[in-house]
C-alpha cells in the first residue's frame, strides 16, 4: 500500500488522496486509509455522542461527527460521504455516496477528516495556509474567503515554498517556540484569484477542482517540520496601496484565532479544552499580526516581499 508523509504522519492509503511526498518504504504507518465500496449515505445526522456538528446557512454544507459505543468516530457529510475513524485513531475508512464523484474524496479527506483526526490525536490545528522561507514558516489564518490560499500562493509567486493549504498542524518546539508540518502540495483559489496560476509556468500543475476552484500545485517546503515564525491574519483591501502590519497582544490573538476553528461546531469537551490550551501556548510563543494587504486582481507579489521583510522573515532566504 503506498505511503505518504503529511502533517507529520505517515499515511498509508489504497485510495488516491492527492498526497505528494512519499514516505520511506520501511516507515510504519501512523494512519491507514481504506476506501469502501460506495453506498447511499443518509442525509440525517448519525446516532452517537456528538463530537461536532455544523450546518452552513443557505447552503447544503452539513456534517456531523459522533463517537459510537465501540470508540470509533463516524463523520458524516450528509448525502455525500462518511469517514469512520478507528478507536485507536490509526485508521480511516472512507465511504462515498453512490452519487459522489471519486475526485471529491481527496478534498474531503485532506480537509475536514484530516483536521478532525489531528485534533482527536491531540494536535493544535489552525485554519490556515502556510509557506516557508528557508527553515522558517509563516501562516495565514482566517475565515473562509479571507485570503488564506491567495496569500500563500502570492507568497510562493514571490519566492516562498508551500507548507500547506487550509489545514496547519502546529506543535510546541522542545526548547520553546512552535513548529509546523508540511501537508498537501496544492492551494485552491477562488475565481477572483485564479489569475495567480499564470505566475507558475507549468500548466500541468494547474487543474479545476470538483468544487469549482483552481488548484495550483506549488513547490513544497524542503524542511519538515519548520519553525513557525509568525501567524498573519490577512485583511484584504482593494483600496490599500501599502502593507500595514499590526501585532496583536496575546489575549487578543487568542480571541481572534479561536474565532477561526478549522473544525466547526466542536462540542466535545476534551477536544475543546485541548485546542484552547494549545492555542494559548502558541500565542504566547509566536507573534500574531493583522496585515492589511493591497488586494487584486491584479495581484502584486511585491506586497508579500514587503510583508515578509516586516516580519523579519525575508523571502530571499527561500
Question: pTM, whole model, 2 decimals?
Answer: 0.95
Q: What is the mean pLDDT of residues 142-155?
A: 94
Q: What is the pLDDT of residues 158-169, one digit of tens each?
A: 999 999 999 999
Q: How confident is the model at residue 196 (pLDDT cuts 50, 70, 90)?
A: confident
Residue 254 to residue 248: CA distance in whole angstroms: 9
- Predicted local distance difference test score (pLDDT) of residue 247: 98
Query: How distant, in Å, are the alpha carbons of 37, 80, 214 from that of 47?
Result: 22, 17, 36
- Predicted local distance difference test score (pLDDT) of residue 204: 79
Which runs of E-coded beta strand occur in the chain? 3-6, 9-13, 31-35, 49-55, 62-67, 73-77, 81-85, 91-96, 124-126, 128-133, 136-141, 161-164, 168-172, 178-180, 186-189, 206-208, 214-217, 226-237, 244-247, 288-294
Name the residue with cell 495567480.
196
Q: What is the dihedral of CA 167, 204, 307, 133, to 10 degrees?
A: 70
Query: How distant, in Å, are the alpha carbons of 45, 48, 151 from that of 7?
Result: 29, 28, 20
**3-class DSSP state for residue 51?**
strand
Q: What is the mean pLDDT of residues 215-221?
A: 93
Amino acid at each position: 500500500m503506498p505511503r505518504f508523509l503529511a502533517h507529520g504522519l505517515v499515511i498509508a492509503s489504497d485510495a488516491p488522496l492527492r498526497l505528494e511526498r512519499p514516505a520511506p518504504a520501511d516507515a510504519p504507518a501512523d494512519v491507514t486509509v481504506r476506501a469502501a465500496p460506495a453506498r447511499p449515505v443518509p442525509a440525517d445526522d448519525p446516532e452517537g455522542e456528538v463530537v461536532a456538528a455544523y450546518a452552513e446557512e443557505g447552503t447544503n454544507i452539513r456534517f456531523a461527527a459522533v463517537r459510537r459505543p465501540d470508540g470509533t468516530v463516524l463523520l458524516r457529510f450528509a448525502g455525500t460521504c462518511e469517514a469512520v475513524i478507528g478507536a485507536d485513531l490509526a485508521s480511516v475508512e472512507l465511504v462515498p455516496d453512490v452519487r459522489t464523484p471519486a475526485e471529491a474524496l481527496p478534498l474531503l479527506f485532506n480537509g475536514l477528516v484530516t483536521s478532525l483526526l489531528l485534533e482527536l490525536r491531540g494536535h493544535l490545528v489552525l485554519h490556515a495556509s502556510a509557506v516557508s522561507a528557508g527553515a522558517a514558516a509563516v501562516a495565514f489564518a482566517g475565515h473562509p474567503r479571507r485570503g488564506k490560499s491567495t496569500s500563500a500562493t502570492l507568497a510562493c509567486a514571490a519566492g516562498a515554498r508551500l507548507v500547506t493549504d487550509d489545514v496547519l498542524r502546529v506543535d510546541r518546539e522542545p526548547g520553546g517556540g512552535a513548529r509546523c508540518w508540511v501537508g498537501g502540495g496544492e492551494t485552491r483559489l477562488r475565481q477572483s484569484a485564479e489569475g495567480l496560476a499564470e505566475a507558475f509556468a507549468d500548466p500541468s500543475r494547474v487543474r479545476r477542482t470538483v468544487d469549482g476552484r483552481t488548484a495550483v500545485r506549488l513547490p513544497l517546503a524542503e524542511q519538515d517540520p519548520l519553525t513557525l515564525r509568525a501567524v498573519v491574519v490577512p485583511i484584504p483591501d482593494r483600496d490599500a496601496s501599502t502593507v500595514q502590519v499590526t501585532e496583536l497582544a496575546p489575549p487578543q490573538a487568542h480571541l481572534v484565532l479561536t474565532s477561526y476553528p478549522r473544525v466547526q461546531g466542536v462540542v466535545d469537551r476534551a477536544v475543546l479544552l485541548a485546542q484552547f490550551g494549545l492555542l494559548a501556548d502558541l500565542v504566547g510563543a509566536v507573534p500574531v499580526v493583522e496585515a492589511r494587504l493591497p488586494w487584486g486582481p491584479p495581484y502584486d507579489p511585491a506586497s508579500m516581499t514587503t510583508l515578509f521583510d516586516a516580519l523579519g522573515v525575508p523571502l530571499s532566504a527561500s
